Amino acid sequence: MDHDFQQIEWDAATIEDCQQLVRLAVREDLERQQDWTTLALVAPDRVGAADIVSRQAGFVAGIQAIAVTIDEMGGQLTFEARVADGDQVSAMTTLGRLSGQVRDLLTCERIILNILGRMMGVATLAAQYVERVAGTPARIYDTRKTTPGWRRLEKFAVRCGGARNHRLGLYDAVLIKDNHLAQFARPGEPAGDAAARAVRQAREFLREFAAVDKLASAGIVEIEVDTLEQLAAVLPERPEIVLLDNMQLQQLRAGVAMRNALAPGVELEASGGVNLETVRGIAKSGVDRISVGGITHAAKSLDVGLDWHV
């Protein structure tokens, strides 16, 4: 087993998304004007240096975004990193040093800290989930419950925390969810029959239109079920992944036993009702994957600050 989706790297596409976010952040902070406070108080030729410090313990994500931010804002600054994305740091760790024109440093400060703090918060929460399931077969995945515009950066941060990326978007794979089935089922058709037929039709669609060549995740077909009866109906169709939605632990264990007997090559994913208190019990049920929307939509930014170097 191990039918996986594409995993986000810090690549050209991620950098482009970061650039877009910085442009929006600049618009928010400067509104095509100037940093009037800095212009009023700081001489144009003044240079200096400041350390970026993580006030809290956590996992690093977003270090590579700092250079992108400086470049996008046209700052006369250099950044010397002391850590790398994915590193675990203790409280009051210096992440790196910014040096150059003080006016540029002051104007860039908040945008850099906002991006870094947000990404580190996601990475740190992801790492907490990964730690909770250690020693079980389960892998932790994110979802599409991301901040609009931030998806690649947040998913990259998830990986920095040691978790894995679910599909990046609707274009990335076929994931048949309950709302799809509600529109697909024939009047009076049993839910299990509709689910099995949906998997067959999705397979046929991919073959007929050669859409699999356009899918970044190698033609994965995943289907969501919310009853064991639906699971029994879809397993013979051999979808790569079946998502067990909002099932109790007893149902998850029964689903794993059923999968092992009928279709051991199919991966099972648990979703719904997952938090730091429940995730280990879910992992011990024997499922292969646990998707957690809260990794991104409930993450709290880490406290990251700027300390002037004297």
- Exposed, middle or buried: residue 139 (CB in 10 Å: 0-12, 13-18, 19+)? buried
Paired residues of 291 in beta bridges: 141, 271
Structure tokens at 128: 């907490």
Does the active-site annotation cover 80? no
Choice among 142, 224, 240, 267 that is catalytic: 224
Choice among 55, 97, 144, 145 that is catalytic: 145
Whose structure tokens read 């949906």?
A: 198
Contacts of residue 131, Cβ cutoff 8 Å, sequence gap at least 6:
none
SS3 content of the chain, % helix, strand, coil (to 5): 45, 20, 35
Does the active-site annotation cover 155? no
Alpha-helical segments (H) within the chain: 12-30, 36-41, 63-73, 102-132, 151-160, 178-184, 191-209, 228-234, 249-262, 279-283, 294-297
Contact indicator for 309, 52 with CB cutoff of 8 Å = no
Closest CA to 123 of 165, 81, 170, 172: 165
Does the active-site annotation cover 28? no
Choice among 46, 177, 200, 238 that is catalytic: 177
Instruction: Return the amino acid letter for 300.
Output: K
Alpha-carbon distance of 269 to 281, in angstroms, equals 14
Choice among 17, 237, 245, 267 that is catalytic: 245
The long-range contacts involving 70-74, CB below 8 angstroms and separated by at least 24 positions, are 70/108, 70/112, 72/19, 72/22, 72/23, 72/26, 73/22, 73/26, 73/104, 73/107, 73/108, 73/111
Choice among 23, 110, 200, 207 that is catalytic: 110
Does the active-site annotation cover 177? yes
Does the active-site annotation cover 9? no
Q: 3-class SS at 285?
A: coil
- Exposed, middle or buried: residue 108 (CB in 10 Å: 0-12, 13-18, 19+)? buried
Which positions are annotated as active-site residues? 110, 145, 177, 224, 245
